[in-house]
Amino acid sequence: MGWEKVLIAFSAALAIGIPAVATAWAQSKIGSAGAGTLAEKPELTGTIIILVAIPETMVILGFVVATMILFTVK
């Protein structure tokens, strides 16, 4: 048990944590804009769902990187 393990865990945490915060921020903005759009044009529901979902890819990529750090860096 060395500092190395701590560092690896910490890096993995950062790799998923930062994109998670970024995703949340982006979704909050898109979400409130989307709510505004829906109030004006309800027929755009599908488009809004897609737009709100798009930033999620960031956190998924973060997850991939985090797992790569945890499982491949030994």
Partner 1 sequence: MIVRMSKIEVAGPKDLLRDVLERLRGLGVFQVDPEAVKIKEEGGEEHVRSFALDEETAVERLFLEDLHAKIDDLLSSLPNIAVRESYIDAETVVQIVANAVPRHCSHSHELSERLDVLVKERDELDRYGIFLGAMASLVGSARETPDLEFIGLTIREPDMVPRLRDVISRITDWKYELQTDTADDGSLVGLITVERSIADRVKGTLHDEQVPELTFPAAFGSMNFPEKIAYVKKRVLEVDGEIATIRDELARFAKRWTPLYRNVRAWIDDRLALLRTTAQAFETKMCFFIHGWIPSRDLAGLRSSLAGAYGQPVVVDELEIREEDLERVPIALRNPAYFRPFEILTSLLPLPAYTSYDPTPFIGIFFPIFFGIILGDAGYGIVLAILAFWARRRFRTERMIRDGATILFISACYALLFGVLFGEFFGDLPERLFHLQPLVVERRTAIVPMLLFSLAIGIGHILLGLALGAVNAFQRNVKREALYKLLSIVIIFAILAIFASQFGIFPSVLSRPAILLILFLTPLLFFSGGVLAPLEFLKNIGNIISYVRITAIGLTSVLLAFVANELGGLTGDVVTGVVVAGLIHALNIVLGVFSPSIHSLRLHYVEFFSKFIEHGGRKYEPLRR
Partner 2 sequence: MGITDREERTGLRGPRGLLLQPRTEGYPVAYVLTRLRGRRSRLIREWKALIYDNEPAEYLASSRYDGFIRERTADGIWASLAREHRWVFTRSDEEVRSILAPYFLYAELRTIVIIIRSLSGGGGTQPGTILENSLLNQEIQAALKRDDAALVVKGLERNFSRWSAVFTGLSRIYGDGGIRELERELVSRTFSAILSGDLHVLVRQLFRRIIDSRNIIALFKSLRLENGTLPVFTKGGIIAPERLRTIHDRGDLAAVATLVRQASGIAISDPDPTKVEVSLYRGITRFLRQEGRDPLGIGVFVDYLWRCSLEVMNLSVVLAGKELEREAVVAEMVS
**Interface positions with partner 2 (CB under 8 A):** 28-30, 32-37, 39-41
Which residue number, 1 or 39, has a Cβ lying nearer to partner 2? Answer: 39
Radius of gyration of the chain (CA): 17
8-state DSSP, 74: -
Integer Cα distance of 3 and 10 in angstroms: 10
Complex with partner 2: residue 38 or 65, whichever CB lies closer: 38
Rounded CA-CA distance 70/5 in Å is 9
Interaction between residue 45 and partner 1 (CB under 8 A): yes
From 2-10, 19-27, 29-37, 49-57, span contacting partner 1 (CB under 8 A)? 49-57
